[in-house]
Amino acid sequence: MMLWPLKLALKIISALLSVAIFYVCFTGYQVWKTSTQYQPAQADAILVMGTAAYPSGPSPELKARLQAALDLYRQFPQTKYVVVTGGKLPGDPATESLVSRNWLASRGVKAKFILSGGADSYENIAFAAAAMRGAGINKVLCVTDPFHEHRSMAILSTFGFRPSPTPTQTSPIKGSKTIPFFLRETLAVSAGRIIGYGNLSTLTHETA
C-alpha cells in the first residue's frame, strides 16, 4: 500500500514523457511538411533570411536564397520591396544583409526598395519589422532554406505579417546533410512555441 504514491508518480511522469515525445515528433513533422511547400504569389515584399557571407560575397547557401528571391522579384514585378537580413560575426568586414543588398542591387533590384536588419532568425525580422510596417508591407514571401522555413514563417506571424512559403529550391544543403538542421529546427520551434521566439532568442544569446 505504501508504494502507491511512487506508482502514481511514475504513471504521471510516463504520461508527461509520452506527451512531450508526441509534441516534439509532431512539431518535427510540421517543420518537414512546411519545407516541402512552395507557394509563390503576388506579395508586398520578399524577405530573405540571412546566413553566412564572405568578404568576396555570399556563401553558396546565401547565394541560393538570394537567387530564389531575385527570381521571385522578376516573376512578380509589382512586389517592389526585398527585405534582406543578417548580422555579422566579430572580425567580419560586412553584415550578411549588406552583402545581400549589394548582390541584389548589382542585379537590378533598386537599392531604395531593399530593406534590412537582424542578427539571428528572430532579430532578423524584429529589426526589419518597423521599416516593413512603415512601407505598408503585410503579405511576405519568405525565402530561406527549406528546413528553416517553418520557424521563419512562425516568427513573421508573431509580428503580424502574413507569410507564404517560398524556400529556395537550389540549396547546397541536401540529402542526409539536412538531418541535423531539421533536428535543430524541430527543437527551436518546439521551444519557441512554449516560451516565445523572442525569449528563445534572448536565451540563445545568453548561453552562446
45-84 confidence digits (pLDDT tens): 999 999 988 888 999 999 999 999 999 999 999 999 999 9
123-165, pLDDT tens digit by residue? 888 888 988 999 999 999 999 999 999 999 999 999 999 999 9
Is 184 part of any domain?
Answer: yes
Flag whether 124 is in a domain.
yes
Sheet holding 162-165, edge to edge: 114-117, 81-85, 45-48, 139-143, 162-165
Domain that holds residue 107: 35-207
The whole-number pLDDT of residue 4 equals 77
- Assess if residue 21 is contained within a domain: no
CATH of the domain at 71: 3.40.50
Distance (Å, whole) CA 119 – CA 45 = 20
Give this prediction's pTM.
Answer: 0.89
**The three grid cell numbers given for residue 127, joined into one nine-digit string:** 529589426
Looking at the structure of the chain, the number of domains it has is 1
